[in-house]
Structure 1
Amino acid sequence: MRDHGPGDPDRLPPPAPCGLPAEVNGFVGRAGELAAAARALETSRLVTLVGPGGIGKTRLAVRAAAAQQNRYADGARLAELSLVRDPRLVAHALLGALGVTDHTGRPARDVLLRHLAGRRLLLVVDGFEHLVETCAPLLRDVLRHAPGVAVLAAGRRPLRLDGEAVLPLGPMTPQDAALLFTARAAGTGRWAREDPALVRELCRRLDGVPLALELAAGRLPALTLEQLLDRMDDRFGLLTCGVRGALPRHRTLRTAVGWSHELCTPAERLLWARLSVFAGDFDLEAVEYVCSGPDLPAGSVLDVLGELIAQSVVTRAESAGGARYRMLDTVRAYGAEWLAELGDAERLRSRHRDWYMGLATWCELEWFGPRQADVAACTDSALPNLRAAVEVCLERPDEAHLGQHLVGTLWFYWAGCGRLSEGRHWLDRVLAHETRYPDARLKALWVLGYVAVLQGDAAAAAAALHECGEGAEAGENVLAGAYATHRKGCLALLSDDVPRAERLLRSALADYDRVGELNSNVLMGQVELAMALVFQDRLDAAVEVCEEVREVCETFGELWTRAYALYVLAYAAWAAGEHARARALLTECITVDHRFNDLVGLALAIELLALVTASEGDPAEAAVLQGAAAPVWDSVGVAVFGSVHFAAPREMCARRAAEQLGARRYEECVETGRALPLDAAVRRALTAPERVRVFRARQRTGPPASPDTREPAGLPTGNGGETAG
């Protein structure tokens, strides 16, 4: 290489041992993201880390560059552009980062390209988003003219250049967030080991955003963790006073987020503010309905939303139901402040409430049909927004009836998707409000009765259903009266008053037929009638009813009620000594119940499967299955509703297994099952036929073996199993 004079801009000064800023405190976590950055730099000369303010892009970029700089003969250099306001100075800033001074008067761009042409260098460009229109074409020219140069960029939006590898950077994992907060808190000099649960809650409330965690740790000399959590509603006022010497945009949480806001167009700022009414995930259709208006036409919403995604204000993710979007709570809170300033918050909250009431109504209708699994997933995803919609109704006394209607409409979710406890919470809350709209209250009352019945709370169920029945009669609401009678029949069934249960259920089914009602509730009423027949030893009649239900379910593609019909048919098969058929029916039943997270149906089916297993001659495995069902009941309420009839399979199984195993070994097997997590318990149940076969083989060749506690492989887990039939 030729010798250059001291003023020659082509001359790069000998590199320092490290051309990157030294870390002043330890780098925590992000192992996966660092590995992803390293892989991306192996295949692309332009890698851009994108994410919202305070997410840790700068620290990650510098750390990744430090790890990779030995691959480049000229090392790595950091160009910090956040303080550059004039686009004409971008090339000068890059030259400054490279240590190049120019006295020639030539255009800075030309000097930069000439200087880098023969270099092998990793150039880290940070904070470019406000200069993207200038920075992008300049970096494109650098990559074209300097084949030995790679660029690792960090900003709130991509550069959108050919060959760019974009790596979105999200919040830290809960474990990494807790480690970061603890590490920074230890440096305050006032830190003692605190309750890990409080640390986890603080990290959750702060979205796992590194800047927010570091600012929160900085408050510990003056505040306890409990005080920090209590003040979190004013996070922008609380999380200030960053470290001296930090970049201005990193000194407070408000300025970190406000920096993104400054870069938005008026339409983007308006949509940002309106999106703050959403809680959790949301989809495009919801945004177009809730956020559009004369000043933001529905046809433009997609383009504006796309720009917010590009600037890392909104994140996009794929789900089973398609593309979903969300904002970090901190970003949402900033938008909410602007929405309040615009004076438009209440109108937007009403539109949001209306959309999710419509969504709940659609889900209730679609529940009776082939899309049940989609409805369950949709409701799961929408749950934070549904909660927010109910809260809006309860804040406005004249709209409490809308809350009653909304919570009642979600009966299928509370009862069918493992949400009894939350359903009870909302039902109790909405029914505490008196309204002038009796029909909405009646619906919430029978749903409360249903939920309370399944929880084994007979007193609450009886009170709710009595009020519903009287109100339905007074208002001549035949359908509400039928639902009240139906659920009274359920209560009688679970209370072991079987003849009364049969009378009430037949009466309700006649009323349903009279008004033309046909849905999952009606079919479930038929299954419950069949159970009443079973409990009166009228198995043939029960089988006839359930076969009819099964046929209707298969016609409409209904799975949830069908699983309960299969349960009754399995009981009848066991009673007839048809153990293989009973097991096959229960396998279908358990798969569907687990798919929908229906814990009541799941616990009943596993306990009946335990009885079948005992009848097949494997008491140890039967005891394990019994134990596996116990924690499921614990999460629902009273085990088998406190019913003698529903508890009969459990009692028969326990008696048989204990007699064959002895009390001590029986309890050991039960405890083995009780220790299984839910998914493992389901896998255990679904692999029981193979276990029984192995057990029988061992019986023929040697002494009885202890129950196998190994996990089977390759079987479905939570809500992901395929249903047969």
Structure 2
Amino acid sequence: MVVNRRAVGNLPAEATTLIGRGAELDRLRHMCERSRMVTVTGPGGLGKTRLALRAAADLTPGFADGAWVVTLSPLEMGASLPYAIAEALLLVNQSIDPMIEVVARYLAERRLLLVWDTCEHLAEACAEVAERLLAAAPGLHILATSRRVLGVPSEEVFLLEPLPVPATADGDADAVALLVERAAAVAPGFAVTEDNRQAVVRICRRLEGLPLAIELAAARLGEWSPQQLATRLGDRFAVLDAGEAGYSADPPWHQGLRTAIGWSHQWCSPAERLLWARASVFAGSFGPAAATRVCADADLPADRIPALLAALTDKSILTWVPTGDGERYRMLDTVREYGAFWLAHLGQEHELRCRHRDHYRALAAEGEAAWFGPDQLAWFDRMSAELDNLRAALEFALTIPDDHCAAELAGVLWFVWYGCGHVQEGRYYLERALAADTGASRARVRALATASLLTTTQGDGEVGRLRAEECLRQAEKLDDARGLQTGQALLLGAAVIRGDQEQATALTRELSGRMPDEITLTYFVYHLSAIAAHIIAGRFEEAVTLLERVRQDCERHGERWLRAYGDVFRAQAELGLGRPLVAQAHAQAALGAKYRMHDNLGVAMALDMLGPAALAVGQARHAAYLLGLSYQVWETVGRQQAGVPAWTATRRDCESRTRQALGEQAYRRAYAAGYEIDLDAGVASAISGPDARSTAPDVR
């Protein structure tokens, strides 16, 4: 959901207790307080992420705008970093400005802590972005984790060491405490005794005090005694397979971690090892259905996948992640790297990347087909959870341009780019796909259509027009009827955004009756563009007539996302007709729906209609409050009033008349109250109105 960025962050709740690290935590907190750029470094498996997240949680009260974690491990390209930061901050960039500039502007006046987790593979990009953001935002602090130093000029480096291990065979240390804590999770009541103390110490020493290695080993203490585990670890170290011994990361892993992971690998069954290797193609998290479709074949039957996932979870190779999209699984980066090494060793890397790409291409097509239906919220949650995998599929598809897959996937994902708030990132992938795949194809027609939609949405109506015209030329050449309809609707949308009322009116009339009755991308673009053209031209009754049709079609399909946009436009039309209470009811209905659907753009547009409605019924103070509240949301969108000149003029007129009604000081106080309020409370008050007892037409 949209949240108030002044009060909260997105730090995850701790799933397990942080054992030891008290001195390190104190040092890291003090370092972060005196320096704006701190990097926790060290080999994999040391617990850099856990330490950084705990430090960030402790430091959060000192940052008025919260602490926000950005996970970089799923990213393959440094150019994706600004988009990942924006996604974490819930920014929706609808402008044509580079995302790094949008993020820099957003952070400029905020006091905020960014936690960048797993930076080593994007070190150069991280250094460039950090330098730009730190220069733009004096209240920004960055805490990074990386296996190597990033090279930012102002960077302070915190070198994390393994946990202390006992100095003597009967000693105690944090490494032992961690082993006992984790072992108790699989063997309730587990404790260090006189009989097992020496074996426990041998385990911790053999694993060199590395937290991840100790946790992997502790998972076995539900079946083996400490003495058995210590013996097996010793054997494993002695007979370390040459292939596994040759595996290393950059920088090299500790021998203890390589031993623990390699030993865990040997302890797995052949089928578990194969699934471990194949599941390494997923970026971020993945669900059981995706694991089945991507990983299963004759060598790994589909009906065995659920049990194998459970077995790998029991062995701590996978972590179970509860989400709004159902159960999902995740691998730690070091564990994923080991699986990827074995996948390449098996000669299956390319095949599995192709399967992964094809699965997400099919998922995107399924999501688009279902988008304008009753399951929109479920699809929003599902595609949001799969963003890392969609990016990985696109990056792989871009390496094979001849099969048109990148253009097809980037094009069909319009509902993710537009509907889920990733407009600029979508344009980034579309431009790359169109540049790599220049041959005529229906996939290119689709990509051109989506590129036109996104560029027009960003306020770049001229480029939107050019892309729509190219879409029409390609569609005509291929006799692509759907592409022709979509291209025509997009020309209308570009005319509206450019402020070309003459062309917009002509296209609205020309295309009337020629658009599909089924709710599709073409239907959506045409109807909202035609409605906007009517409203801008003052044809409010015609707009209402078309809006009623859209409302009926949406009700028939159980559709809510488009219907809520219809309510925004209906509010604007009703204001034009002098019916502010009706306008208020529609805007409140739109606001409630868009807020539930996480649609920042729709939330901001609905709030912009509520301000003039309140002013029209004599509620000037509430109007100023709503103007401040809407500006709070527009800041996360990046382009005020969606770049439409007529809408900008409407807001400015409302601001001017509200100032006149209240006086400057009263206006500023009410405006600031809306701008600074927690967004949950602000939206609730906007929906209920200044007087919750007042009545308004029911538009539900």
TM superposition score normalised by structure 2? 0.65
Instruction: Output one character per residue of 1:195-244: Cα deviation in whole Å (capped at 9) or x when no partner.
Output: xxxxxxxxxxxxxxxxxxxxxxxxxxxxxxxxxxxxxxx98341545xxx
What's 2:312 paired with? 308
Question: 1:581 corresponds to which letter in structure 2?
Answer: V
* C-alpha separation in 2, matches of 1:637 and 1:645: 18
What's 1:418 paired with? 421
Deviation, 1:433, is 1.1
Deviation, 1:80, is 6.2
Deviation, 1:437, is 4.4
Deviation, 1:375, is 0.9
Mapping of residues 461-610 of structure 1, within 5 Å:
461-508=464-511, 510-513=513-516, 517-519=518-520, 521-610=522-611
Q: 1:339 aligns with which of 322, 338, 343?
A: 343
Question: 2:335 corresponds to which letter in structure 1?
Answer: V
Distance 1:74 1:393, change over 3 A: closer
Any conservation in 1 of the 2:182–2:218 contact (CA below 8 Å)?
no
Any conservation in 2 of the 1:398–1:435 contact (CA below 8 Å)?
no
Distance 1:536 1:464, change over 3 A: same
Question: 2:657 corresponds to which letter in structure 1?
Answer: R
Question: 2:311 corresponds to which letter in structure 1?
Answer: E
Distance 1:617 1:360, change over 3 A: same
Q: 1:354 aligns with which of 353, 358, 362?
A: 358
Deviation, 1:27, is 7.3
Distance 1:689 1:666, change over 3 A: closer
Deviation, 1:584, is 2.1
Mapping of residues 438-477 of structure 1, within 5 Å:
438-477=441-480
* C-alpha separation in 2, matches of 1:517 and 1:574: 29
Distance 1:23 1:685, change over 3 A: closer
Any conservation in 1 of the 2:462–2:498 contact (CA below 8 Å)?
no
What's 1:236 paired with? 249
SS of the equivalent of 2:374 reads coil
Asked if 1:261 corresponds to 2:245, the answer is no
Distance 1:128 1:448, change over 3 A: closer
Structure with the larger RCO, 1 or 2 (CA within 8 Å, 6+ apart): 2
* C-alpha separation in 1, matches of 2:257 and 2:691: 57
Deviation, 1:74, is 11
Which one has a bigger Cα radius of gyration? Answer: 1
Any conservation in 1 of the 2:572–2:609 contact (CA below 8 Å)?
yes
Distance 1:84 1:292, change over 3 A: farther
* C-alpha separation in 1, matches of 2:24 and 2:642: 53
Question: 2:367 corresponds to which letter in structure 1?
Answer: C
What's 1:434 paired with? 437
Distance 1:65 1:541, change over 3 A: closer
Deviation, 1:691, is 7.5
Distance 1:24 1:541, change over 3 A: closer
Q: Percent identity?
A: 34
Q: 2:292 aligns with which of 288, 291, 313?
A: 288
Deviation, 1:676, is 4.6
Any conservation in 1 of the 2:296–2:302 contact (CA below 8 Å)?
yes
Asked if 1:398 corresponds to 2:402, the answer is yes
Any conservation in 1 of the 2:461–2:495 contact (CA below 8 Å)?
no
Deviation, 1:653, is 1.2
Any conservation in 1 of the 2:465–2:495 contact (CA below 8 Å)?
no
* C-alpha separation in 2, matches of 1:691 and 1:631: 23
Deviation, 1:82, is 6.4
* C-alpha separation in 1, matches of 2:367 and 2:321: 22
Any conservation in 2 of the 1:80–1:126 contact (CA below 8 Å)?
no
Distance 1:684 1:252, change over 3 A: farther
* C-alpha separation in 2, matches of 1:356 and 1:643: 35
Deviation, 1:83, is 8.1
* C-alpha separation in 2, matches of 1:557 and 1:267: 43
Question: 1:537 corresponds to which letter in structure 2?
Answer: G
SS of the equivalent of 1:542 reads helix
* C-alpha separation in 2, matches of 1:315 and 1:724: 45
Deviation, 1:398, is 2.2
Distance 1:674 1:134, change over 3 A: closer
TM superposition score normalised by structure 1? 0.63
Distance 1:125 1:427, change over 3 A: closer
* C-alpha separation in 2, matches of 1:413 and 1:597: 12
Question: 1:547 corresponds to which letter in structure 2?
Answer: E
Distance 1:24 1:629, change over 3 A: closer
270-279 or 621-630, which moves further after superposition?
621-630
Any conservation in 2 of the 1:509–1:525 contact (CA below 8 Å)?
no
Distance 1:612 1:343, change over 3 A: same
* C-alpha separation in 1, matches of 2:279 and 2:586: 47
Instruction: Output one character per residue of 1:35-57: Cα deviation in whole Å (capped at 9) or x when no partner.
Output: xxxxxxxxxxxxxxxxxxx9998
Question: 1:488 corresponds to which letter in structure 2?
Answer: L
* C-alpha separation in 1, matches of 2:612 and 2:290: 48
Distance 1:352 1:438, change over 3 A: same
Question: 1:493 corresponds to which letter in structure 2?
Answer: V
* C-alpha separation in 1, matches of 2:365 and 2:625: 41
Any conservation in 2 of the 1:58–1:126 contact (CA below 8 Å)?
no
Deviation, 1:343, is 0.9
Deviation, 1:382, is 1.0
Any conservation in 1 of the 2:445–2:471 contact (CA below 8 Å)?
yes
* C-alpha separation in 2, matches of 1:236 and 1:64: 26
* C-alpha separation in 1, matches of 2:596 and 2:395: 29
SS of the equivalent of 2:299 reads coil
* C-alpha separation in 2, matches of 1:125 and 1:491: 57
SS of the equivalent of 2:418 reads helix
What's 1:682 paired with? 683
Deviation, 1:585, is 1.5
What's 2:276 paired with? 272
SS of the equivalent of 1:317 reads strand
Instruction: Output one character per residue of 1:291-350: Cα deviation in whole Å (capped at 9) or x when no partner.
Output: 112221112222222110111111223333322112122211111011111111000000
Q: CA RMSD in A?
A: 3.8
Question: 1:350 corresponds to which letter in structure 2?
Answer: C
Deviation, 1:369, is 0.8
Distance 1:75 1:534, change over 3 A: same
Distance 1:57 1:477, change over 3 A: farther
Any conservation in 2 of the 1:570–1:581 contact (CA below 8 Å)?
yes
Any conservation in 2 of the 1:79–1:126 contact (CA below 8 Å)?
no
Mapping of residues 653-672 of structure 1, within 5 Å:
653-672=654-673
Distance 1:63 1:350, change over 3 A: closer
Distance 1:512 1:25, change over 3 A: closer
Instruction: Output one character per residue of 1:78-102: Cα deviation in whole Å (capped at 9) or x when no partner.
Output: 74646889xxxxxxxxxxxxxxxxx
Q: How many equivalent pairs are there? A: 509
